[in-house]
Amino acid sequence: MMENYQTLCSLDDKTYGNYPEERQNERNSIMTHANNVLESLQSAEDGRSVDSHMSTDIKPQIDEITSSYSEFRECFGQTYHHLDTHSGEKPFLCFQCGKYFTSSSSLHMHQRAHTREKPFTCPECGKCYSFKSALVRHQKNHTVKEKPFPCLHCGKRFIFRSELVRHQKTHTGENPFSCFECGKCFSRNITLVTHMRTHTGEKPFSCLECGKYFSIRSNLEAHKRTHTGEKRFSCSECGKCFSLKSRLFKHQRTHTGEKPFLCSECGKCFSDSSNLQTHKRTHTGEKPFPCLLCGKCFIFRSELVRHQKSHTREKPFSCSECGKWFSSSLKLETHIRTHTGEKPFSCLECGKYFSLKSRLFRHQRTHTGEKPFLCSECGKCFSDSSNLQTHKRTHTGEKLIPCLHCGKCFIFRSALARHQKTHTDEKPYSCFECGKCFSRNITLVTHMRTHTGEKPFSCLECGKCFSIRSNLETHKRTHTGEKRFSCSECGKYFIYKSHLFRHQKTHTGEKQFSCS
């Protein structure tokens, strides 16, 4: 008790010498009274007499001194704190980061940077701030109609002069803040401070949910949405929502078709920088993801994950509609579209929709004429990888699948199944316009164009359109001059097979048209 009392009564002697005369007299009066009480306490011989003495006489005096001292410090508090700015004393320590402050109020405000406390709320829009000054500054956006500070370069106006000064640096190119590590310059000090963390590795912003650290507060705020599930950025085209603005921008390119990232090796363009980096491995041959079970390497981590399931036969994803199981959530998502009929991928050229992005890419080659798949044996190019694999069997002599009815052989079982319908006369696909039936759906689709007049295949040379792709391929030879059909008798070449047949009759003497 004696020690606490002495602490209560002691005033900073260094500060005391700076008090004005009237404040010194007031302080001396308090101290004289305190010393008298202190002498009374010291005259007591044991704790019991002190307690007895306290209850009858001294305790009310201590309460009076405490009240007087508190009033004195409260009255003179502003001057007391101001004097610390001259002395340089910073007695208030932040236990989070070790930083010192001249006043407890400054420490309290600083601690909000650690606690993320934002006690000041804007009544207009509900936005919260850590400091009242920041709230007052923000409220001017609601109350101030006029923006009195115009930029003389572009005419943009600002509420605050400081905002104008920052903006003007975008015109002058002024970057007065330089990094002493790498020499990079910045227009704002706060940008330099953020940049310095790339050198120091400092990550002062931590996630309270998982403990992950970030060097930039905005990255922390974006990360938090992975816990809350908040998706605040929506696509104006389709309404799909995203947790990050960068993911929204990436998604919007699926609507615009924009591909700003160019491969310097082959000129191919990509909508996303990560896709470009991955594509470059097809040129370098890099396959950084090996399978630990069989040693096979992959360009993509996702390919490795899919491959590893071939060892475990794991299929953890099931379809709630039909109960079928899949090894990846992506395969399940793709499969579900067979039930819902959803076709989220559209062609910008003709408006046709597809359930798979790969089918959209394959379809787009019908417009561009691109044939990126090259046969290493003969140099022939194909627009689709499956067509290339089929073609390669003509070189390998791979065993074909025969039809039990006529003996005709096929490379694929699916092609055999289609062929067998010609023996059974099964034609399950009918045209609702004229009632004609077909054995294959693709044949029905092609036939429907005779009713709709649709001609989706256009020639890039002259713009002529065709309803069937094979007709377009044949037409292209009129531009290239290619003559792929040769006469076995005389060696003459022709663009069209029909022209070859007509010519061959000049050798056989056959007359195609007889007089009736």
**What's the pLDDT tens digit per position in 275-298?**
888 888 878 878 888 888 888 888
Most confident of 19-23, 27-31, 228-232, 459-463: 459-463
Q: CA-CA distances (angstroms) from residue 198 to 113, 129, 139, 203? A: 21, 28, 35, 9
pLDDT exceeds 60 at position 194: yes
Band of residue 60 on the pLDDT scale cut at 50, 70, 90: low
CA distance 295 to 284: 19
Contact 472, 466 (CB under 8 A): yes
Of 72, 65, 13, the residue nearest 40 (C-alpha): 65
Most confident of 380-384, 427-431, 446-450, 512-516: 446-450
> Per-residue pLDDT averaged across 131-144, rounded?
74
Extents of the domains making up the chain: 2-87
pLDDT of residue 83: 52
Of 349, 351, 353, the residue nearest 366 (C-alpha): 349
pLDDT of residue 22: 54
In whole numbers, what is the pLDDT of the chain averaged over residues?
76
CA distance 479 to 229: 56
The two tokens of residue 513 are 């048209």
Of all residues in the chain, what percent carry a pLDDT higher than 90? 0
pLDDT of residue 84: 54
> Per-residue pLDDT averaged across 467-472, rounded?
86
Band of residue 87 on the pLDDT scale cut at 50, 70, 90: low
Q: Which residues contact 29 (CB under 8 A, 6 or more apart)?
A: none
CA distance 21 to 4: 28
- Give residue 506's identity as a one-letter amino acid code: T
Backbone angles phi, psi at 330, to 5 degrees: -65, -40
Threshold 0.75, pTM exceeds: no
3-state secondary structure 466-507: ECCHHHHHHHHHHHHCCCCEECCCCCCEECCHHHHHHHHHHH
pLDDT of residue 57: 55
SS3 call for 40: helix
pLDDT exceeds 80 at position 208: yes
> Per-residue pLDDT averaged across 491-501, rounded?
84
pLDDT exceeds 50 at position 47: no
CA distance 112 to 131: 9
CA distance 401 to 192: 69
